[in-house]
Amino acid sequence: MDKKIIKKIQHFAELFENIRSKKEAEREEAEKRLFGKVNELNSDELERFSEYYKKPEISDKIVKFHKRTLNKKDKGGVKVLRYNLLQRLHKNEKLTSEIIKIEKQKIKEVVNEHDKNYDPFCRWSNVGILYPFCYYSSNKEIKTFLEKFTDDIITKLGIGRKTDKKTVTFNGSQNQGYDHCWIAIYDSNFKSQRDTNQLYVGFFKDEIVFDIYEHATKKFGTNLKTARRKIPYEEFSESGLIRIVEFFKDKKEEIFKLRNLKKELDETKKEFNKRFRGKKRNNINKKIYSEQSTINSQAQVIKRTNYHHKIYNSTKEFFENNFSKCSYEDSNVDITATKDDKLYLFEIKPFDDPKYTIRSALGQLIEYYYEGNKKADYLCFIGINHLGENKSYFDYVKKIFKDEPFELKYFYVDYDKRGLIEDK
């Protein structure tokens, strides 16, 4: 792997460090560093950036500015600003925040002659204005490297027919500068890497990080805040691609998880729509989707929606055969049922961990018991796994409510027997 391009990537990751930080002090330090770099550019470096303004579609905006015909629709404010700053640098002037303000005002006055009160720079920081002076001439080379690097990973993993890719340079996704560049490989069934899991590789200041990543939750791997694998730059040229491919070999199917979950959900819903009809079906669907609307992860939404429908499919006959009366979703709980003049309230929470099932359902059951004036005899949790080591936790919860006129029960689903089993 070309060591020069790797060094160049590391250089820009260092130069642009913290330009998008949430901490004001770090952003100010990054801006100061960038002003220093821009003011040190030599004539050759300035000339390379000048090439950008030889494009007809760009030079046309400069002409419009000088003729005072530049307007909002031209979307040329930032381009003209950089050009005017570039002319100052050619004259050996040093750029400052004050000079940028002066040049901005000149352009605003022209644009406002046609579009009153419009500010072409309202979302642009000094960093966003300045970074291309240092970076423009290197972007194409870095983009080419990232594209080839991504293609090599796809080829070696053998997933070319099922995937799309996205590469983002130091321009960032909004073309306002970014502190790192990155690549993503994702399921081609989806429009964007934002919609599903992705194979992610990010080039930061000190290291290259890589893992499975979910944009919606901003989590890596198994719900982690940081990536599981990292490679320092000094090792990347020799073994980076090999190590990244090796890591993703047994994880590549995770980016197709959502595709597979959707297929499973489609089959589950077909069965559900046969078993439940009319108002009963509508009530169930309404409650399911209102609960899932609070979840950021699309994979989790599909997974839990599928579990909900599977549970209803597997327990319909169970409730019909074991209870004299049963109502679905016509209240704040999933199922209300009567047996031997005893009222049962059931709440479904399909978490892998029974502890989360209990925590998530308890509030709804208690609230409905008191506010709904439903003096139930049993408040029942429905999960997808037996309690196991969480039995002591459930016993602790029951102890808290031991003096209440109701009893807590935990059930898990037996899909083979198509029913519920009480975990005592």
Q: Kindly report, residue by residue over 152-173, the tens digit of the pLDDT.
A: 999 999 999 999 999 999 999 9
Residue 3: inside a domain: no
For residue 24, the model assigns a pLDDT of: 95
> How far, in Å, CA of 16 to CA of 125, rounded?
14
> Mean pLDDT, to the nearest integer, of 48-58?
93
Q: Which one of 115, 135, 155 terminates a domain? A: 135
> How far, in Å, CA of 65 to CA of 67, rounded?
5
Residue 390: inside a domain: yes
For residue 401, the model assigns a pLDDT of: 94
Secondary structure E strands in 204-287: 207-214, 219-220, 229-232
For residue 374, the model assigns a pLDDT of: 66
Pair 88, 42 in one domain: yes
Range of the domain at 408: 310-423
Q: CA dist 132 to 34, 92, 107, 335, 344, Å?
A: 10, 18, 19, 60, 66
> How far, in Å, CA of 205 to CA of 424, rounded?
54
The number of distinct structural domains making up the chain is: 4
pTM of the model: 0.78
Pair 195, 236 in one domain: yes
Residue 13: inside a domain: no
Residue 10: inside a domain: no
Q: pLDDT per residue over 411-424, tens digit each? A: 999 999 999 999 98
3-state helix, strand, coil in the chain (%, to 5): 55, 15, 30
Q: pLDDT per residue over 284-301, tens digit each? A: 888 787 777 666 677 778
Pair 402, 327 in one domain: yes
The answer to whether 184 touches 193, Cβ cutoff 8 Å, is yes
For residue 237, the model assigns a pLDDT of: 86
Pair 86, 33 in one domain: yes
Pair 242, 142 in one domain: yes
Residue 11: inside a domain: no
Name residue 409's amino acid: K
Pair 128, 152 in one domain: no
Q: pLDDT per residue over 263-286, tens digit each? A: 888 999 999 999 898 888 888 888
Pair 363, 283 in one domain: no
For residue 240, the model assigns a pLDDT of: 94
> How far, in Å, CA of 171 to CA of 382, rounded?
49
Q: How many alpha carbons lie under 13 Å from residue 82 in its C-beta half-sphere?
A: 26
> How far, in Å, CA of 393 to CA of 220, rounded?
29
Residue 73: inside a domain: yes
